[in-house]
Chains A and B, each alone.
Chain A
Amino acid sequence: QQQVKQSPQSLIVQKGGISIINCAYENTAFDYFPWYQQFPGKGPALLIAIRPDVSEKKEGRFTISFNKSAKQFSLHIMDSQPGDSATYFCAASRYSGAGSYQLTFGKGTKLSVIP
């Protein structure tokens, strides 16, 4: 049972274009929705995150849009650059007790930005 569904699996965007990655979740216990960026040979690194009481969060060229009623959220990368080429993971977090949070990841989107 996949609790966080992510699409598309891969994405090719021209430099300067907009990259859009979508995610949907099922468990209403999730209360934190981060996006992670992973370069080859590296660990995932937090890019931007949102809480369900906010519908949009913007940090530089990266924006998360969140639709609580539809249980969907998306990442928009404006003015995409070749350096943005990486694998992007959406995730959903819920408190597991004793100070521990469980991240459930989507399956990832491999983004390639071509010059």
Chain B
Amino acid sequence: DTAVSQTPKYLVTQMGNDKSIKCEQNLGHDTMYWYKQDSKKFLKIMFSYNNKELIINETVPNRFSPKSPDKAHLNLHINSLELGDSAVYFCASSPTSQGAGNTEAFFGQGTRLTVV
């Protein structure tokens, strides 16, 4: 009954490779996010999608490309991986509400990416 699930949980790959992380949520939320947590545990938003539409695109190298095939899925594809991409990537989802509504974000377990 996992609410937000990511695969894989661990990913070890060589520099220059291309890899994807998959995310699925079964909460019926319209909005999904990708966050990056660095080695110092700092969490920063990367992307936000609402009903398959890109809403937030923070300053992220264009080697990172999110893809949302439907509102329950938001995958992250990374091209030409670099050592500095090593981090934990979290997918999250939240219900849609206009204005000051319920903005609780539910996070997945994370994908620990190690680039060697």
Counting residue pairs across A and B whose Cβ atoms lie within 8 Å, the total is: 77
Interface string of B80-114 (1 = CB under 8 A from A): 00000000001010101111100111111110000
Chain B residues with Cβ below 8 Å from A32 are 100, 103
Docked pose: A97 CA to B96 CA in angstroms:
10
> How many A residues touch B, CB cutoff 8 Å?
29
A99-B96, A101-B103 are contacts. A42–B110 as well, Cβ < 8 Å?
A: yes
CB pair A49–B100 under 8 Å, yes or no, is no
Q: Are A107 and B30 in touch, CB under 8 angstroms?
A: no
If A95-B99, A96-B55, A99-B50 touch, whether A49 touches B104 (CB-CB below 8 Å) is yes
Residue-wise interface mask of A (74-111) relative to B, using a CB-CB cutoff of 8 A (1 in contact, 0 not): 00000000000001010001011111111111011000
Binding site of A, secondary structure by majority: helix, strand, loop or mixed? strand
Cβ–Cβ contact A107 & B104, under 8 A = no
CB–CB B107/A98 < 8 A: no
In the complex, chain A residues 13-65 whose Cβ is within 8 Å of any chain B Cβ: 31-32, 34, 36, 38, 41-46, 49, 51
Contacts of B56 in A (CB 8 A): 96, 100, 102
Contact present for B55 and A100 (CB under 8 Å): yes
Q: Are B100 and A100 in contact (CB under 8 A)?
A: no
Q: Give me 17 A-to-B residue pairs in the complex whose CB atoms sit less than 8 angstroms apart, sorted by A's number.
A: A34-B104, A41-B109, A43-B107, A44-B43, A46-B105, A87-B41, A89-B43, A95-B100, A98-B53, A99-B31, A99-B51, A100-B31, A100-B50, A100-B55, A102-B48, A102-B56, A108-B42
Nearest 3 pairs of A and B residues by beta carbon? A43-B107, A99-B96, A100-B55
